Amino acid sequence: MLITVPFLAHAARHVPGKRAELLMLLAVLADHEPADIDSPHWPSSSVAAVCVELCQVLPELLSCLVDTERGVRRAALRVVAAVAELLPSELRVSVVAQLEGLYASDPVPAVQADALVVLGRFGYETEVLESSPAEVRLAAAMLGMERSGPPYPADLVDAVAEYGAEPDPGDDGFPWSGTTSQDEQLNQLLTQDPDACLTVAARWIEAGDLGSRGSWLAQKIAETWRDREPAVLNLLVAALPHQRNTRALASRLRTIAHWIEHLPEPGADLHNTLHQYADTDDETAEPALLALVHARDIRALTQVLRRPSAGLLAAAARHFPTAADQLITAIRYQLAAGATGNEGIALVGALARFGAAARQAQPELVDCLRTGRATIVAARQLGLNGIATREITDLLFKAMQSTDLSLRAAAAVAHYQLTSDATPALRTFESLLTSKGQTHWYLSTLQPLGSTAAPLLPFIESLLEAGQWTRMAAAEAHHWITGYPDRAVPILVELVEPTPVGLRALKALTCTGQLPDELRPTLRSFVFSPLRLLADSPLSGQGHPDEELRTLARALLAAG
């Protein structure tokens, strides 16, 4: 690494065509948080060694600050910023003087703005004139936000709203520390203050939503903060007419479709707007129709049945379970036509919403299992349907020999549900629970066996001290099998946190009906946090996991 820095610096001076890239590589190698230099490990760290070497060769690189190419000057400024707090005093004076010269006279506003940012890294607050270019005014506002912290002063928010609506026309969006571009830094700053963020997003959308900056910013608020969906959706709808092409418009509609179900009662205007986009023949129709389904607009059902797709049918099954007969007919048609992959999985999974009515699709489910399409979910649904024939039980028995271990587990459970013969299932799960695979996946399917799975308890007991996911699933399965929560509850309580495994542990704990007192503060933090504690999973089709976390925590507190 130490040899690399002088070599890269030499190359940056003597290889004009790659100068900007080489300078950025140096900046990235030296990237660190200023607070890191106070930590005990810093002197011996590889980044510290890079920074020492970079400080030594920096005088040789300062000529790049006046290079004829704007990208080189911007990259050189990032090299200086990377070691700003580490420069010796005599070099610091020289560097600051050059930065001030760039800020005062560089012909490219983006370079002036960068110079202002780097001066800020040295602790200098430089006067920004009313006549300064927009890029400079925006950089100054961002520096002000960093210093003040949220909630941001109104004048800084107004400046960002006015000067940040239009992206920099250059194509050299080099990152700053943390490998983030200026746009990413600005978005990070704004999302710390949701009211300021919504104000800026509204102004940017009103100005034309250039580059979808305003609508994307609004989306970040919904992803970061709770209970902001009404304001966010209003902004996203306002942004629709500003989208430059069909692809961008479809993207905005998909975002609306994802968040609209969080509104208790979407307004009539919103419904009507979505119908306008759904009644077209281009790629905007499906996301608009999906949004209407998630908004529980019964008029959308007719359109779904007229132009069905796996995603639309799965969403309709979730929101319109009373339309079982119509939707099952459409699902059967799609399955009979040979739906495979994720489409087949979505279609078969949708049948679980309909209870006993799903038996109408029994022929298609059997064909899926026979032909190897969506086999895992098909096996599960056949077990739930409860119709046992020799053909089905033979197919399930054959599937228990599959090289796909998840299919083995699903087939074993379904075979037991249809035959009440536990021996094949127990033999299958004994093999699965002693394998080196994703054991928690198999444990999570055991619930239908109940106490019949008692012979598996020695294997499950040994997994109670395994990794997080396996411990959680083992504790959950232990409770299912024994009916007693004593072993499960301490493990589940320990695992409850705002993570995917913690959410699953909370769901399992809810089923035990127990709430230890030591967990109450954690659950209250889940309920009352204004920030989302779990990241979005828009492909799950099951809503936002953070909403589920909050709902479960609230229910458990109320019951306890």
Estimate to the nearest angstrom the gap between the alpha carbon of 490 and the chain centroid. Answer: 30
Q: Which of 365, 435, 428 is nearest to 398 (CA)?
A: 428
Contact yes or no for 450/480 (Cβ under 8 A): yes
Q: Which tokens in the block code for residue 557?
A: 């507190």
Q: Which residue type sits at 157?
A: V
For residues 49-64, give the mean pLDDT: 94
Q: What is the DSSP letter of 225?
A: B
Give the pLDDT band of residue 131 (cuts 50, 70, 90). confident
Q: What is the pLDDT of residues 133-186, one digit of tens each?
A: 999 999 999 999 999 999 999 999 999 999 999 877 666 677 877 667 788 889
Q: Which whole-number Å values give the CA distances from 252 to 205, 238, 308, 311, in the listed order?
A: 12, 11, 21, 17
What was the pLDDT predicted at 3?
62
Q: What is the pLDDT of residues 339-388, one digit of tens each?
A: 999 999 999 999 999 999 999 999 999 999 999 999 999 999 999 999 99
Q: Which tokens in the block code for residue 395?
A: 């197919």
First to last CA, the chain: 58
Q: Which of 559, 551, 557 is nearest to 262 (CA)?
A: 551
Cβ neighbors of 268 (< 8 A, separation 6 or more) are none
For residues 183-210, give the mean pLDDT: 95
Q: Which whole-number Å values give the CA distances from 515 to 241, 294, 465, 485, in the listed order?
A: 50, 33, 22, 11
Specify the higher pLDDT residue, 35 or 169: 35
Residue 76 in this model has a pLDDT that exceeds 70: yes
* Residues β-bridged to residue 176: 180
Alpha-carbon distance of 480 to 67, in angstroms, equals: 70
Reply yes or no: is the peptide bond before residue 151 cis, omega within 30 of 0.
Answer: yes
- Length of the chain measured in residues: 560
What was the pLDDT predicted at 179?
64
Q: Which whole-number Å values give the CA distances from 265 to 229, 292, 300, 321, in the listed order?
A: 12, 12, 16, 19
Contact yes or no for 550/502 (Cβ under 8 A): no
Q: Which of 437, 525, 449, 514 is nearest to 480 (CA)?
A: 449
Give the pLDDT band of residue 542 (cuts 50, 70, 90). low
Cβ neighbors of 325 (< 8 A, separation 6 or more) are 357, 360
Q: Which of 2, 69, 68 is nearest to 30 (CA)?
A: 2
Torsion angle of C-alpha atoms 38, 42, 43, 48, degrees rounded to 10: -110
Contact yes or no for 518/560 (Cβ under 8 A): no
Alpha-carbon distance of 520 to 526, in angstroms, equals: 10
Rg (CA), the chain: 29
Contact yes or no for 150/193 (Cβ under 8 A): yes
Q: Which tokens in the block code for residue 401?
A: 């020999």
Alpha-carbon distance of 394 to 100, in angstroms, equals: 80
Contact yes or no for 504/542 (Cβ under 8 A): no
Cβ neighbors of 545 (< 8 A, separation 6 or more) are 500, 503, 534, 535, 536, 537
Q: Which tokens in the block code for residue 287?
A: 């996301």
Q: What is the pLDDT of residues 267-316, one digit of tens each?
A: 899 999 999 999 988 899 999 999 999 999 999 999 999 999 999 999 99
Specify the higher pLDDT residue, 507 or 437: 507
Task: Provide long-range contacts, Cβ within 8 A and 24+ apart, for 478-484.
Answer: 479/508, 479/511, 479/512, 480/446, 480/447, 480/449, 480/450, 480/453, 481/446, 481/449, 481/450, 481/451, 481/453, 481/454, 481/456, 481/457, 482/451, 482/454, 482/457, 483/451
Estimate to the nearest angstrom the gap between the alpha carbon of 285 and the chain centroid. Answer: 25
What was the pLDDT predicted at 171?
64
Residue 540 in this model has a pLDDT that exceeds 60: no
Burial class (CB in 10 A: 0-12, 13-18, 19+), 356: exposed
Estimate to the nearest angstrom the gap between the alpha carbon of 355 and the chain centroid. Answer: 32
Mean pLDDT of the chain: 93
Contact yes or no for 310/334 (Cβ under 8 A): yes
Q: What is the pLDDT of residues 431-471, one digit of tens each?
A: 999 988 788 899 999 999 999 999 999 999 999 999 999 99
Concatenate the DSSP letters of all residues of 68-109 into one string. SSHHHHHHHHHHHHHTGGGS-HHHHHHHHHHHHHHHHH-S-H
